Amino acid sequence: MTEQQKEIYRQVTKWFHEARNRILEGRARGLDVQNKTSRLDLVTNIDKEIERFFREKINENFSDSAILGEEGNKADFKSSKGLFWVIDPIDGTMNFVKQAADFASMIAIYQDQKPLLGFIYDVIHDRLYWGGPGIGVYCNKEQLPAPKNIQLKDGLLGVNGPMMLTNYHNLQEVIRKSAGARIYGSAGIEFIHVLTGQCVGYLSHLRPWDYAAGSILAESLNLSVKTIDGKLLDVVSSEDVLVATKNAYIEISALMSAK
């Protein structure tokens, strides 16, 4: 780990632990829940508070940074120089509101547009998945082994509910060829299942803050993470993202390109 990665890791882990207290206390006090674009797209006072909190910490400690966050200003990745931070303060807001479980908090960091560190925090279980190029991936202090390169038929596949219902690009056939579909409702939690080898892959239409941290971690474990038609993720676009073992990626992408 470089000195820069060490310093960022040291700071960011502290922020996540403070964010956890704020999230749990805030939820216990009672949430202010609003519809963003529809009744299925929610935002709470805590989503906004946690993003503000991360932004303050970044600006205090790493002053020349640019920040792209779901609930705030959206800096442009393509023209960025130096440190670039991508924040999803609460990923899986619907789960946060309805279940108080299966949600995550995520930060991805790039230096001169190159991946530096990714963090997915499973808040309820207090498990921080973090890592980056040259580091591998850890859950808290324990290093994760790279998942076995299993085939689609041998693993569970995380999917997006609406895509499954509409049979998006032949998705139902992909699911039939797998060991079964799972829908967890948080991109961060879905990525964790693939990183730990509990799922063979995950497929969803995602925005940059949904996939930035997960894709840095997935690449560090030698998984394939691209659009379903093989394009690299650019941290700018909303994409149909597929993260999977190398074998399963090839199978799924071929099945979905057929339609």
Q: Should residue 102 be labelled a site residue for Ca ion when binding is judged by CB under 5 A?
A: no
Q: Which residues contact 39 (CB under 8 A, 6 or more apart)?
A: none
Site for Ca ion in 59-98 (CB under 5 A): 70, 88, 91
Q: Which does residue 224 bind out of ligand IPD, Ca ion, none, counting CB within 5 to 8 angstroms by kind?
A: none
Chain residues 83-102 in contact with ligand IPD, contact rule CB under 6 A: 88, 91-93
Q: Which does 204 bind (CB under 5 to 8 A by kind): ligand IPD, Ca ion, none?
A: ligand IPD
105 binding ligand IPD? (CB under 6 A): no
For every residue of 15-35, DSSP letters joined together read HHHHHHHHHHHHHHH---EEE
Closest approach, Cβ 95 to ligand IPD, in A, equals 8
Q: Which lies closer to ligand IPD via its Cβ, residue 160 or residue 245? A: 160
Q: Are strands 201-206 and 239-244 parallel, antiparallel or unpaired?
A: antiparallel
Binding of ligand IPD by 185 (CB under 6 A): yes
β-partners of residue 244 are: 201, 224
Q: Give the whole-angstrom CA distance, residue 194 versus residue 228.
A: 16
Take residue 9 and report the two structure tokens written for it: 């890791």
Residue 178 sits in the site that holds ligand IPD (CB under 6 A): no
- Using CB under 6 A as the binding rule, whether residue 204 contacts ligand IPD is answered as yes
Picking from 142, 172, 144, the residue whose alpha carbon sits closest to that of residue 159 is 172
Assess 210 for contact with ligand IPD (CB under 6 A). Answer: yes
Near ligand IPD by CB under 6 A, which window of 143-151, 180-188, 219-227, 242-250? Answer: 180-188
Size of the site for ligand IPD (CB under 6 A): 12
- The answer to whether the Cα torsion of 110, 116, 122, 125 is positive or negative is negative
State in angstroms the smallest separation of the CB of 143 from ligand IPD. Answer: 26
Residue 206 Cβ vs Ca ion, minimum distance, rounded to whole Å: 8
Helix (H) or strand (E) holding 132: strand 127-132
Of the two residues 97 and 252, which places its CB atom closer to ligand IPD in the complex?
97
Of residues 159 through 218, those in contact with Ca ion by CB under 5 A are 210
Chosen residue from 58, 68, 174, 206 binding ligand IPD by CB under 6 A: 206
Specify burial of residue 1 (Cβ count, 10 A radius: 0-12, 13-18, 19+): middle
Residue 23's binding partner among ligand IPD, Ca ion, none (Cβ under 5 to 8 angstroms by kind) is none
Specify the DSSP class assigned to residue 197. T
Closest C-alpha to 229, from 246, 241, 217:
241
- Residue 214: CB minimum distance to Ca ion, A: 10
Q: Which two tokens stand for residue 27?
A: 């939820």
244/226 Cα distance (integer angstroms): 9
Which residues, listed in sequence order, are joined to residue 239 by a DSSP beta bridge?
206
Residues at the interface with ligand IPD (CB under 6 A): 70, 88, 91-93, 160, 185-187, 204, 206, 210
Residues at the interface with Ca ion (CB under 5 A): 70, 88, 91, 210
